């Protein structure tokens, strides 16, 4: 049966591609507790998820009809990937489709923090008419990104996109990745119909921590930044996390924000989503988004197209070998 359940949705472009290939695509959201029964009852061969739906061992064991699990996005921490593969299930994700969108959000947070947009956008609606001059003075000590050093921890696809944008802004870039020694990058210049190619070599973790004005994290998980790492950073550093909740220890982050060691933090992900620490939500030095790094119209379309192409290819291989 060529039936697909896109439990966390799919862009219409990808849905249309799958339907043209002969798949029946259903986008009704099934609650987690009913998912096993519905998959078996409807005989869904493919389950498409994003971050909301959990695909754990119990579901994998209970759903022998399932042939493909597809994750719209990069991280697959909501899927027991290796266990699924052991059970003969093909697991797919879309690592390239959302890189640019996440990288742009990194700079949205950076610009917001260095020019106090996150704070002035809160204050102006309340006090803009009565305290305009005071607010002007309060927010007049902004900084430029040009000439500053951006440290990138994790130099995969997203980290490399961030590096290209930083170089376009005339920033210095230093990077760390235990699995990448160097990367060949290319910046497109559409107005001039040109491309510029260059190589960036990664450095040590310690070097990035000590020498960066701003640090952005692009790693799959783990507790990477806590008190020890924060203490080795420059005073007044700004941190950005659009990777995974828990990569930065939130307790240590709050302590450093309150002491002034960290000047600001841009956070798209959190330790206990969706139950975010209220101290972070209310903190005047934090720029916030609700896990929307890959959530642009363009990225969702690219994700859906990549998913559709990979599902069609994978299903074709399954039929050949069945």
Residue 99: Cβ-neighbour burial (10 angstroms; 0-12, 13-18, 19+): buried
From 41, 144, 188, 273, the catalytic residue: 273
Is 273 an annotated catalytic residue? yes
Is 118 an annotated catalytic residue? no
Q: CA–CA separation, 56 vs 9, rounded Å?
A: 19
The helix-helix angle for 12-20 and 297-321 (nearest 10°) equals: 20
Instruction: State phi, psi for 204 to the nearest 5 degrees.
Output: -80, 160
Helix (H, G, I), strand (E, B) or coil at 200: strand
Residue ranges of alpha helices (H) inside the chain are: 12-20, 35-42, 57-62, 81-86, 99-114, 117-127, 132-138, 157-168, 205-211, 227-231, 250-259, 278-282, 297-321
β-bridge mates for residue 200, sequence order: 183
From 157, 244, 283, 302, the catalytic residue: 244
Helix (H, G, I), strand (E, B) or coil at 309: helix
DSSP letter (8 states) at residue 31: P
User: Look-up: residue for tokens 């923090």?
Assistant: 113
From 207, 291, 301, 309, the catalytic residue: 291
Q: Which helix (H) or strand (E) holds 215?
A: strand 214-217
Residues 6+ positions from 177 with CB-CB distance below 8 Å: 153, 154, 155, 156, 159, 202
The two three-digit tokens of residue 74, written as one number = 């990069």
Q: Which of 227, 233, 284 is nearest to 251 (CA)?
A: 227
Q: CA–CA separation, 256 vs 244, rounded Å?
A: 20
Catalytic residues: 244, 273, 291
């Amino acid at each position: 049966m060529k039936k697909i359940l896109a439990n966390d949705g799919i862009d219409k472009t990808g849905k249309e591609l799958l339907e043209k290939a002969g798949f029946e695509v259903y986008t009704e959201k099934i609650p987690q507790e009913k998912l096993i029964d519905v998959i078996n009852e409807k005989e869904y061969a493919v389950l498409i998820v994003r971050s909301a739906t959990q695909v754990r061992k119990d579901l994998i064991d209970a759903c022998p009809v399932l042939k493909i699990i597809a994750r719209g996005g990069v991280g697959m921490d909501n899927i027991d990937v290796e266990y699924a593969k052991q059970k003969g299930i093909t697991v797919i994700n879309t690592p390239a489709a959302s890189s640019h969108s996440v990288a742009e959000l990194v700079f949205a947070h950076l610009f917001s923090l260095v020019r106090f947009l996150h704070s002035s956008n809160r204050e102006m609606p309340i006090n803009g008419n009565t305290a305009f001059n005071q607010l002007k003075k309060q927010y007049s000590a902004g900084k430029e990104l040009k000439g500053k050093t951006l440290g990138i921890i994790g130099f995969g696809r997203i980290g490399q996109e961030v590096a290209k944008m930083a170089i376009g802004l005339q920033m210095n870039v230093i990077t760390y990745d235990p699995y990448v020694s160097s990367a060949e990058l290319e910046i497109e210049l559409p107005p001039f119909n040109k491309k510029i190619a260059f190589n960036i070599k990664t450095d040590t973790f310690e070097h990035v921590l000590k020498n960066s004005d701003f640090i952005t994290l692009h790693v799959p998980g783990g507790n990477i930044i806590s008190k020890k790492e924060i203490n080795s950073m420059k005073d007044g550093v700004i941190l950005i996390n659009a990777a995974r909740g828990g990569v930065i220890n939130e307790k240590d982050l709050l302590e450093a924000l309150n002491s002034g060691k960290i000047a600001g933090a841009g956070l798209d992900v959190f330790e206990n989503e969706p139950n975010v620490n209220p101290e972070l939500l209310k903190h005047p030095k934090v720029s916030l988004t609700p896990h929307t790094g890959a959530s642009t119209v363009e990225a969702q379309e690219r994700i859906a197209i990549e998913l559709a192409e990979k599902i069609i290819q994978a299903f074709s291989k399954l039929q050949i070998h069945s």
